[in-house]
Structure 1
Amino acid sequence: MTNATSPTGLWCDRCGEPADDAGHPGCQAARQLEPPRFCPRCRRRMKVQVLPTGWSATCVEHGTARG
């Protein structure tokens, strides 16, 4: 998983829409401050935990990303 909207992923990790749909400039800007909400590989909603030292986002199918 990536820390931003992935050009190689199928889905935007912030809004869950197709990643190649209009580039998602709003999503890319928001991801500078927010953790991902959707798995870019399968579009599942991820379990997100935000801590003072960073975040973790877990997809039941593809594992955990940290930032």
Structure 2
Amino acid sequence: MQWCDRCGGALADGGHEACAAARQLEPPRYCGRCRRRMKVQVLPAGWRASCVEHGELSSV
């Protein structure tokens, strides 16, 4: 199952248009693969998010 990386809800349930719009400006908060809350660091040039199970994502 895939999860919304902003709210943590199931993508199959739908209704994530607001999440997709917000993600244009915000870093992800939840891992899209396992739904765990990620450690997020906002940097001057972007962001870095880390899931304990799946590793790091980055915008830089």
The TM-score range, normalised by the shorter chain, is over 0.9
| TM-score, normalised with respect to structure 1 | 0.83
Q: Which has the higher helix share?
A: 2
Alignment identity in percent?
68
SS at 2:50's partner residue? strand
Corresponding position of 2:33: 41
| TM-score, normalised with respect to structure 2 | 0.93
C-alpha RMSD of the superposition: 1.1
Stretches of 4+ aligned residues off by more than 4 angstroms: none
Where does structure 2 lack aligned partners over 5 or more consecutive residues? none
Corresponding position of 2:13: 21
Corresponding position of 1:65: 57
Where does structure 1 lack aligned partners over 5 or more consecutive residues? 1-8
